[in-house]
């Protein structure tokens, strides 16, 4: 079987297979991207490229249903979530179409007193970029990388996840239909060895990867060997801290919705629920009850709270994690079972430091719950993780919100809200969650030459 194949996780059916690229096809992809970077990207204006990205947004909206159904078959995303992902991707492209040129405007530098003349920082493209994208958000991950960089004038070689060849093909077709020339955006069905060849090519200026810690470390090592800029968005085990609330039912509902979103397969989903001791029993009772009520179902039907995990391998891994957590002393308060690729919503308690699960990321609908004696212990628990992607804080005290947000070791803090990502909000983390930022004003500022021009 080909490395690139659509295998419907809900049924196990192999829908379509795609041939892996030959070495000659990889070389041709780099040639095309380099030619586009030296030709089209230099001759076109930011405004012209922004207009093309606006057309990409329009095509996502026009092909909304088709695009959504593709990823339901590829990775089991419920159809409602899949439609939402296509919409969000269109919004990201539209954001950079509307704002990209202004974000790239020259920045005047105030010269020291007595200096004559002027100085500006001028932002320009680096050239060819390689994007390595994961399966959990097949359109959104590409949008937040490709959108800003194509407006900037970089060109893109995109290596998608092996289980997302159909969505990868659909995205490339959109860029071509929008009017981008050959080479501006090139999809490749590459092997890991071929990815190494692309990274080593001196014409490739940078690499953006969203994926696992292991993949990030491997790519960063190769990029470092060849002095290439990297942006890494890796795993997360985000805390959901409840210090006070005036509506426990609403807080619990947000906790459940955030944990089962995308069938629990989101890097920045809350996974560790840390609750003040005086609220813990009430929260736990309601949280376990709500998690017990939700369940997976047919992702194409649009009725289930969540769908299957993305593959049999993903289900095997999550089941093994839960079993090892229990063997280490954790208690299953609800769930913990699987049927094929479908996994029940699960709550684990009594996960202690000596348990390997304490430091692991659970990529599925599995939550860990902890009681904290006070604010200090809550922050200590929240930060006691190798990850630092997102975080969630619930409190009715504005001063506490500011104070605790400052103390959390993470790239993002959401206060009294979940599922609040938006194109203008920068996304990224610290520690083992990676480096660099995507989206917002910072997302267009990563793969850029900030050239200083001083005129006397």
Catalytic residue set: 233, 267
Write phi, then psi, for 108 (nearest 5 degrees): -65, 145
Instruction: Give the helix, strand, coil percentages of the chain, each rounded to 5.
Output: 45, 20, 35
C-alpha to C-alpha distance for 94 and 51, rounded to whole angstroms: 9
Are the C-beta atoms of residues 367 and 275 closer than 8 Å to each other?
A: no
Number of H helices, E strands in the chain: 15, 22
Q: Tokens at residue 216, please?
A: 């990030």
C-alpha to C-alpha distance for 429 and 268, rounded to whole angstroms: 9
Rg (CA), the chain: 23
Q: Tokens at residue 41, please?
A: 């990207």
Partners of 431 in the beta sheet?
387
Integer angstrom CA distances of residue 97 from 56, 140, 149, 152, 303: 9, 16, 11, 11, 34
How many alpha carbons lie under 13 Å from residue 454 in its C-beta half-sphere? 6
Q: What is the helix (H) or strand (E) element at residue 145, kind and residue range? A: helix 140-152
CA 46 to chain centre: 26
């Amino acid at each position: 079987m080909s490395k690139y194949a659509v295998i419907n996780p809900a049924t196990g059916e192999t829908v379509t297979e795609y041939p892996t690229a030959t070495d000659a096809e990889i070389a041709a992809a780099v040639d095309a991207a380099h030619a586009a970077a030296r030709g089209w990207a230099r001759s076109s204006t930011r405004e012209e490229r922004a207009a093309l990205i606006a057309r990409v947004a329009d095509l996502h909206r026009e092909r909304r249903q088709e695009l959504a159904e593709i990823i339901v078959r590829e990775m089991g995303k419920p159809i409602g979530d899949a439609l939402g992902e296509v919409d969000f991707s269109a919004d990201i492209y539209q954001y950079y179409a509307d704002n990209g040129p202004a974000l790239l405007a020259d920045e005047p530098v105030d010269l020291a007193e007595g200096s004559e003349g002027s100085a500006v920082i001028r932002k320009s493209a680096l050239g060819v970029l390689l994007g390595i994208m994961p399966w959990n958000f097949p359109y959104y991950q590409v949008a937040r990388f490709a959108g800003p960089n194509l407006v900037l004038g970089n060109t893109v070689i995109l290596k998608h996840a092996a289980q997302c060849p159909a969505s990868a093909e659909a995205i490339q077709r959109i860029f071509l239909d929008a009017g981008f020339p050959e080479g501006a955006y090139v999809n490749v069905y590459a092997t890991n060895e071929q990815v190494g060849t692309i990274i080593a090519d001196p014409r490739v200026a940078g690499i953006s990867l969203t994926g696992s810690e292991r993949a990030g470390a491997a790519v960063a090592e190769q990029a470092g060997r060849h002095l290439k800029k990297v942006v890494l968005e890796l795993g997360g085990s985000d805390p959901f801290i409840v210090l006070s609330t005036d509506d426990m039912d609403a807080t619990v509902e947000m906790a459940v919705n955030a944990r089962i979103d995308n069938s629990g397969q989101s890097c920045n989903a809350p996974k560790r629920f840390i609750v003040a001791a005086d609220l813990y029993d009430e929260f736990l009772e309601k949280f376990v009850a709500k998690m017990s009520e939700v369940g997976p179902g047919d992702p194409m039907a649009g009725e289930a709270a969540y769908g299957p995990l993305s593959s049999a391998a993903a289900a095997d891994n999550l089941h093994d994690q839960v079993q090892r957590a229990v063997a280490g002393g954790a208690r299953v308060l609800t769930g913990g079972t699987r049927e094929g690729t479908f996994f029940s919503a699960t709550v684990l308690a009594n996960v202690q430091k000596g348990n390997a699960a304490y430091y692991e990321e659970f990529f599925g609908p599995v939550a860990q719950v902890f009681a904290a004696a006070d604010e200090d212990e809550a922050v200590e628990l929240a930060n006691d993780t190798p990850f630092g992607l997102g975080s969630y804080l619930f409190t009715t005290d504005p001063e506490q919100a500011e104070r605790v947000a400052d103390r959390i070791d993470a790239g993002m803090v959401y206060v009294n809200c979940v599922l609040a990502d938006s194109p203008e909000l920068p996304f990224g983390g610290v520690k083992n969650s990676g480096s660099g930022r995507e989206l917002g004003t910072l997302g267009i500022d990563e793969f850029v030459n900030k050239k200083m021009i001083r005129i006397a």
